[in-house]
Amino acid sequence: MTSSDAADTAILTAAETIDRLTNLDFPRRGAIASLHDEARRLVDGPLGLAAAREALARTPDGAVIAILTGFPEFPWIRRGVAETDGPVGAAVLARSFIKARRAIPILPCEPHFAAVIEAAVRGIGLTPIAATGVDTKSLHPGDPVCLIEATDDPIDAHRWLAARAPALVIAIERPGRASTGVYHSMSGRDISHCLNNFEDLFLAAAAAGIWTTGIGDGGNEVGMGRLRDVVRARVAGGASCGCGCDGGIAAESVAASLVTAVVANFGATAIAASMALLTRRLDVLPTAALELRALEASVAAGGVDGQHNECVASVDGLAAPAYGAVLALITDTVDRVLRERSAS
Ligand SMILES: [Zn+2]
C-alpha cells in the first residue's frame, strides 16, 4: 500500500464513521434508517464525502455558490417561523466553502426567515450583507461575508442564474414540492403559503448542468426526489398527506448529490468535515463551539426547534449538549486523520 492509498483509506474510514454517526436516530424520528439505507444504495460511499468531492471539484476558486434554506414552523400563524435546522447548516457550508475555495456564498430566502438565517451566518463568524444591488464581481473572494437575498418577489430562475452564475446550488432543509405541486410539513400540512419559489433555482440549475446538492432528514425537502418510493412506503404521510391535495409529502426534485442525516444540519457538518479531510485542513470544519454559537445566535433571533417548536438551543428535539456531542465526535474523527497524516 502506498502512502497515498493509506491516506485515502484513512479518509474513507473517517467519512464512513461520520456518515453513520450523522444518520443514527438519536431524536427517535423513525424513518431516517430507511432513508439513509436507500441513499447509500444510490450513492457510492459515505454521503458527505461523495457530496464534498463533487462540490470541491466543481467549485473554482472565488466562485459564487447559492444555498437555499428556511423551513416554517407554526405555518398556521401568518407565514410561519424559521426552524433551527437548516440555517445553521447553511452557515456552516457558507463558511467551509469560503475557507476551502474562497467562495462567495449567496442565500436567497423569504424576508420572514431572514433574521434567523442572518443570525446563524453571524454566529458562524461571517458578516451577512444584503444582496440587493451588490455585484458579486465587486466582492473580494475569501472575505468572511455572505450575501443574503431576502425577497418575496417570485424569482425568474433563468435570469437569476445568468446574473449570479453560481458554480453550485445547495438546498438544506428547504421544503420541496410534492407531485401535486404542494409543499408539505412532515405532518402533511400544506405550507405553500410560507414560501417563495426558490426551488425553481434548484430545478433550473439542475436543468442547466449546474451541480446541485440536496440535504434533508425527512424526504419532503428539495433534492430528495430519488427517495420518493421509500418516503411513500416508510414515512408517515409519505403516501397520503391528508392536506387535501390527494398526494403524499415526498419531494419530487432530484439533487445530483444526495445527503441524508437525522438532523439536516448534521448533513452540512458531514460535508464540511469531508471537505476538511479532502483539503487536509481542519480549519475548513468549524469547531463544535463555533457551530453551537451559530445555533445560539439563530435561537436568539427567533429560530425554533422543528420538533417541539420551543425557542431554545435545540434542533429537531436534540438539545444543544447532545447536538454538540455529535459535532465534537465529528471534529475528533477528522482531527485524528489529519494529525496522523502530519505525523507520518
Ligand atoms: Zn398534500
Distance 204 CA to ligand 1 centre (A): 24
In 3-state terms, the chain is what percent helix, strand and coil (to 5)? 45, 15, 40
Alpha carbon distances (Å) from 245 to 176, 183, 275: 15, 10, 40
| Partners of residue 169 on adjacent β-strands | 66, 212
Distance 49 CA to ligand 1 centre (A): 34
DSSP string covering 19-69, please? HHHTTS-TT--SSHHHHHHHHHHHSSS-HHHHHHHHHHHH--TT-EEEEE-
* pTM metric for this prediction: 0.98
What's the confidence (pLDDT) of residue 29?
85
Distance 322 CA to ligand 1 centre (A): 33
Distance 220 CA to ligand 1 centre (A): 11
Distance 150 CA to ligand 1 centre (A): 27
Distance 228 CA to ligand 1 centre (A): 14
Q: Which residue has the cell 433555482?
A: 201
The phi, psi pair for 65, rounded to 5°, reads -125, 140
What's the confidence (pLDDT) of residue 344?
66
Based on its alpha-carbon atoms, the radius of gyration of the chain, rounded to whole angstroms, reads 18
Are 48 and 267 in contact by the 8 Å Cβ rule? The answer is yes
Distance 214 CA to ligand 1 centre (A): 21
Are 292 and 320 in contact by the 8 Å Cβ rule? The answer is yes
* Environment class of 123 (CB within 10 Å of its CB; exposed 0-12, middle 13-18, buried 19+): buried
| Positive/negative CA dihedral, 260, 264, 268, 274 | negative
| Partners of residue 213 on adjacent β-strands | 170, 257
Return the HEC string of 135-190: CHHHCCCCCCEEEEEECCCCCCHHHHHHHHCCCEEEEECCECECCCCCEECCCCCE
Distance 82 CA to ligand 1 centre (A): 21
Blockwise average pLDDT, block size 10, the chain, 344 residues:
82 98 92 96 96 98 98 96 98 98 98 98 98 92 97 97 97 98 96 98 98 97 98 94 95 98 98 98 98 98 96 96 98 96 74
Distance 246 CA to ligand 1 centre (A): 6
Distance 242 CA to ligand 1 centre (A): 6
> How many domains does the chain fold into?
1
Angle at 294 between CA 73 and CA 341, to 5 degrees: 125
Distance 307 CA to ligand 1 centre (A): 20
The phi, psi pair for 203, rounded to 5°, reads -65, -45
Residue 289 and residue 16: Cα distance in Å, rounded? 23
What dihedral angle (degrees, nearest 10) is formed by the CA atoms of 82, 86, 88, 89?
Answer: -170
Alpha carbon distances (Å) from 59 to 28, 93, 142, 212: 36, 13, 13, 11
Distance 139 CA to ligand 1 centre (A): 42
Residue 76 and residue 78: Cα distance in Å, rounded? 6
Distance 163 CA to ligand 1 centre (A): 34
Distance 308 CA to ligand 1 centre (A): 22
Distance 183 CA to ligand 1 centre (A): 7
Q: Which residue has the cell 433551527?
A: 84
CATH number at residue 303: 3.90.1640.20
Distance 244 CA to ligand 1 centre (A): 5
Distance 178 CA to ligand 1 centre (A): 8
The phi, psi pair for 158, rounded to 5°, reads -65, -40
Are 60 and 102 in contact by the 8 Å Cβ rule? The answer is no
Distance 23 CA to ligand 1 centre (A): 27
Distance 257 CA to ligand 1 centre (A): 26
Helices 111-123 and 87-101 cross at an angle (nearest 10°) of: 50
Distance 142 CA to ligand 1 centre (A): 42
Domain extent for 111: 3-343
Distance 159 CA to ligand 1 centre (A): 30
